[in-house]
């Protein structure tokens, strides 16, 4: 009797292990985790020139499909919206709303191949990273949107959930 129980337990453990390895149980074992410590806004307060650097590293076990990113500004919560375009080369678009609306095109750099799929989602495979860079020229005056030394928040909206992060505005 003990042999039958031991054999049953052994087979169950083998099936569970194989199921995890081959993905038989869908996304049940997928872990979502990000690292965003490199994200920052660098602002020159004298004229409003600004660089925005979003650094996203997928520390999870599966690929993530990023739909959009929202960032807070002095104009209000989620006043900045970043979307993606698969048109070659893949680009990101930043829309800042407030007293003066700004739309700026940014560049996406990844550690993998084509970063944006045909449904305009930024794809970040497990273990990979993506960097999104925007430059706002002085004539547009980004100092209306952020204050040096302040900490702001943002949200990644991806298929299956959302992730909140914070970033600091630094002096140029």
Read off the pLDDT of residues 131-143 as tens digits, 9 standing for 90 and up: 999 999 998 888 8
Whether 91 and 140 map to the same domain: the answer is yes
pLDDT tens across 112-136, in order? Answer: 877 898 899 999 999 999 999 999 9
**Four-point Cα dihedral 58, 64, 65, 66, nearest 10:** -40
How sure is the predictor about 170, in pLDDT bands with cuts at 50, 70 and 90? Answer: very high
Q: Is 93 exposed, middle or buried (0-12, 13-18, 19+ CB in 10 A)?
A: middle
Whether 8 and 44 map to the same domain: the answer is no
Whether 1 and 70 map to the same domain: the answer is no
Whether 42 and 21 map to the same domain: the answer is no
Whether 3 and 74 map to the same domain: the answer is no
Mean confidence (pLDDT) of the chain: 87
Whether 108 and 132 map to the same domain: the answer is yes
SS3 63: coil
pLDDT tens across 62-87, in order? Answer: 899 999 999 999 887 668 999 998 87
Q: What pLDDT is recorded for position 29?
A: 61
Whether 66 and 147 map to the same domain: the answer is yes
Whether 15 and 81 map to the same domain: the answer is no
Strand runs (DSSP E) across 74-119, as ranges? Answer: 76-85, 91-96, 102-110
Number of domains in the chain: 2
* CB under 8 A, 24+ apart: contacts of 20-28: 27/62, 27/160
For residue 20, what is the enclosing H or E element?
A: helix 2-22
Domain span at residue 83?
A: 31-171
Phi, psi (rounded to 5 degrees) for 95: -115, 120
In this structure, are residues 156 and 84 in contact, taking their beta carbons and an 8 Å threshold? no
Higher pLDDT, 110 or 87: 110
Q: Is 46 exposed, middle or buried (0-12, 13-18, 19+ CB in 10 A)?
A: exposed
Model pTM score: 0.78
Whether 23 and 50 map to the same domain: the answer is no
Whether 50 and 131 map to the same domain: the answer is yes
């Amino acid at each position: 009797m003990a042999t039958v129980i031991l054999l049953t337990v052994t087979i169950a453990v083998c099936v569970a292990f194989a199921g995890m390895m081959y993905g038989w149980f869908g996304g049940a074992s997928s872990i979502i985790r990000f690292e965003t410590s490199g994200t920052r806004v660098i602002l020159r307060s004298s004229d409003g020139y600004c660089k925005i650097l979003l650094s996203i590293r997928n520390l999870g076990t599966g690929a993530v499909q990023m739909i959009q990113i929202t960032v807070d500004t002095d104009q209000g919560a989620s006043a900045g919206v970043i979307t993606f375009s698969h048109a070659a080369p893949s680009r990101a678009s930043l829309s800042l709303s407030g007293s003066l609306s700004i739309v700026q095109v940014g560049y996406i750099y990844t550690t993998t191949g084509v970063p944006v799929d045909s449904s305009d989602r930024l794809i970040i495979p497990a273990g990979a990273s993506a960097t999104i860079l925007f430059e706002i020229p002085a004539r547009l005056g980004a100092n209306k949107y952020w204050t040096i030394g302040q900490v702001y928040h943002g949200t990644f909206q991806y298929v299956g959930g959302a992730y909140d992060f914070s970033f600091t505005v630094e002096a140029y």
